[in-house]
Amino acid sequence: MNLTNQLTALLDIDYPIIQAPMAGEATPELAIAVANAGGLGGLGCSYMSVDEIERNVARIRAGTDGSFNLNFFAHPEPRADAKLDASTRARVAPFYEELGIAEVPERGVATCDTFSWEKTEALVELRPRVVSFHFGLPDLDMVRALQRAGIAVMSSATTVAEASRLDEAGVDVVIAQGWEAGGHHGSFEASADDVGVGLVALVPQVADAVRCPVVAAGGIADGRGIAAALVLGAQGVQLGTAFLSCPEANTDDNYRAALRQARDDDTRLSSAFSGRPARTRNNRYVEAMARARTRFPDYPTMYAFSQPLAQACAGGKASGFEFVLYGQAAALNRELPAAELVARLVDETRESLGLTDKSR
Amino acid sequence: MNLTNQLTALLDIDYPIIQAPMAGEATPELAIAVANAGGLGGLGCSYMSVDEIERNVARIRAGTDGSFNLNFFAHPEPRADAKLDASTRARVAPFYEELGIAEVPERGVATCDTFSWEKTEALVELRPRVVSFHFGLPDLDMVRALQRAGIAVMSSATTVAEASRLDEAGVDVVIAQGWEAGGHHGSFEASADDVGVGLVALVPQVADAVRCPVVAAGGIADGRGIAAALVLGAQGVQLGTAFLSCPEANTDDNYRAALRQARDDDTRLSSAFSGRPARTRNNRYVEAMARARTRFPDYPTMYAFSQPLAQACAGGKASGFEFVLYGQAAALNRELPAAELVARLVDETRESLGLTDKSR
């Protein structure tokens, strides 16, 4: 066992540590710090126009020669569903009234676009080392166009079946994302909130099923978790929550305070915010929606109904409806600059694996 | 890292591998084979009278001088709840009609007793190396009486909070049981079916929180999983599902056939059989109950309503109501005699950890 392998060669990184490209919280500064420390930096670009993507890539390249990853959601176009909009409206209306929000939205509205040829063409020009997708893959012709430009393509799998589909589609890397993971789970379909495969079971089964390198994601916060992922059969790890406490992340004060108080058992997988399951801190809204087992409008149109509630809680004006995403190992977070965190993770991993200096 | 440690010394075993004492499927023959192979054998005794326990211990001791574990459920006495009985009766009645079962049970009935002073006194005489509990702990005076007799006491925790409570209560070993685990989850209260901490996140946080040795359980099927558990901070592992495919286990033909077809994502945590969450193969009954988010009569009285449905499916006469317990790594099962399985697990673990022959 050592820390360089097929994955580090493919991604041109020193250590098999990937910073999750969390849309909203990942920043060019975070990606730069991680890349300069020898990991793979990442930036979630689903909420950006092509112009914004180009500007952000220029910022990253001004700060590092290292590898970085641009991430995009590959969900299908949401379907309009007036009946589902109406039932959702009825369900959330009492919360709106309680919080004194005048208007309950009439219908779901998409807050971000799915991947497109316009973005594909821009990426072919920009040539980041890696492009990753979440919620499956876009049109395979787009994937091929990226790969022909020398870009490595990754996507997430939450089951062995999804991993096999990605492998058969020819991705360069499969990210095996466990039940423990914070934020949106990458299941291809909007899966149920009460199912998911734990990372310890998922990684070896995915490693056995696919030909490409496997990255483990979910519930990994320190070198013990990284070492465990490697012995399970992964060639690398992706950490999101662990990087939320870095000063380079765009994590607001309330979010950082929540991370400081996080416990192993204070989150829930919930589709009640976006329409797709995301692991979020448990609160009144999440609990109420879980009890009701409501079906929600398609991702990402459900945000139209949930965001006004979350915004009404901003700055502590109210509570119970916040959207605070983190994974089940958040309590292990360290508040360190990203470069220092990566160095610490590498040292801890070596220690956990019993690697001597000689094997570096 | 090596395979002998504080745990193996305490339990007087050669390898830190514990065979889960699955009530119904674990047998004296299985416990004997595992103990003779250097692991900790185990037998679930909650459905046995003191006489039966004594006879089974005599059978085990006739076959091995090795260590074994007797397991008991430590659930509180179930409460009678006529309203819950009535709503449960109404919910299951259509299934009874469909399967042609004449009578829907009137009320929940306990199928096994909780732990008692009578059993404590018998165990103090029998002195197995280990007694383990599930669903928390019995009266602490009973725990102390066992420990004074030189018996090591273990119990399961599904969260850091439960692990800390066990540690403060003075148990000798905490079993950190992850979301992945097959069968009944050991949460102290009857927890929700849609929550649980994955093993990768749970083990390091439990190891940080408690003073006693930690055993990892759930989703571990081969040496990769064992090695991962050890680097996460556990001193040993408990495997249940992996032993179900051994010839020594009391696993019927349909059950073995189900294990051969198992996938990572074909189970669900469900309270619909016993009243407490157990990971079981997904089927129509489990799905229907999950959709309804019904509350069930206290463990184990819910069995009164579910068992006639499962029995109506015995031998393939009907389907959709079977109670087939296994964990998320069941697809990695090997059909090997238990001694061979233990030897294989040890070899694989050494390989995964990069341990040389010299370190044996």
Q: What is the pLDDT of residues B181-206, one digit of tens each?
A: 999 999 999 888 999 999 999 999 99
- How many domains, in total, are found in chain A? 1
pLDDT of residue B360 exceeding 70 = no
User: Around Cβ B68, how many Cβ atoms within 10 Å?
Assistant: 27
- The answer as to whether B17 is a domain residue is yes
Question: Mean pLDDT: which of A232-241, A294-303, B185-194 is highest?
Answer: A232-241
A204 interface with B at CB cutoff 8 Å = yes
- The answer as to whether B263 is a domain residue is no
What average pLDDT score do residues B163-182 get?
98
CA distances B123 to B51, B132, B136, B312, Å, are 11, 12, 18, 37
- For chain B, the residue count is 360
- The answer as to whether B100 is a domain residue is no
B201 interface with A at CB cutoff 8 Å = yes
Question: Which domain does B67 fall in, by range?
Answer: 6-77+114-250+333-359
CA distance A187 to A176: 10
pLDDT of residue B355 exceeding 90 = no
The ipTM, to two decimals, is 0.97
The enclosing domain of A46 has a CATH number of 3.20.20.70
CA distance A14 to A105: 48
Q: Cis link prior to A105 (omega < 30° from 0)?
A: no
Q: Which ranges of A100-191 does DSSP label H, i.e. alpha helix? A: 117-126, 140-148, 160-168
Q: What is the pLDDT of residue A359?
A: 46
The amino acid occupying position B173 is: V
Sign of CA dihedral B127, B130, B132, B137: positive
- β strands within B67-122, DSSP E: 68-73
pLDDT of residue A6 exceeding 70 = yes
Q: Which of A203, A231, A328 best tests the B interface by mutation, with the highest count of B CBs <10 A?
A: A231
CA distances B300 to B109, B122, B305, Å, are 7, 23, 10
pTM score of the predicted model: 0.97
A23 interface with B at CB cutoff 8 Å = no
pLDDT of residue A60 exceeding 90 = yes
Q: What is the pLDDT of residues B30-74, one digit of tens each?
A: 999 999 999 999 999 999 999 999 999 999 999 999 999 999 999
Contact state of A180 with B200 under an 8 Å Cβ cutoff = yes
B148 interface with A at CB cutoff 8 Å = no
Of the candidates A180, A196, A200, which has its C-beta nearest B228's C-beta? A200
Q: What is the pLDDT of residue A357?
A: 54
What average pLDDT score do residues B281-307 get?
92
- The answer as to whether B137 is a domain residue is yes
Q: Residue B170: left if φ>0, alpha if ψ -120 to 50, beta else—which one? A: left
Contact state of B200 with A265 under an 8 Å Cβ cutoff = no
Contact state of B264 with A159 under an 8 Å Cβ cutoff = yes
Q: What is the pLDDT of residue A360?
A: 42
- Residue in chain A nearest B228 by alpha carbon: A228
- The answer as to whether A131 is a domain residue is yes
Would you say A137 and A169 are in contact if contact means Cβ atoms under 8 Å apart?
yes
- The answer as to whether A174 is a domain residue is yes
Q: What is the pLDDT of residue A317?
A: 85
Contact state of B327 with A193 under an 8 Å Cβ cutoff = no
What average pLDDT score do residues A87-95 get?
95
- The answer as to whether A258 is a domain residue is no
- The answer as to whether A188 is a domain residue is yes
CA distance B35 to B57: 13
As a whole number of Å, the end-to-end CA separation of chain A is 11
Q: What is the pLDDT of residues A170-201, one digit of tens each?
A: 999 999 999 999 999 999 998 889 999 999 99
Instruction: List the strands of the sheet with B17-19, edge to edge.
Output: B17-19, B236-239, B214-217, B173-177, B152-157, B130-134, B68-73, B41-44
Average pLDDT, chain A: 95
For residue B330 the two structure tokens come to: 């069941």
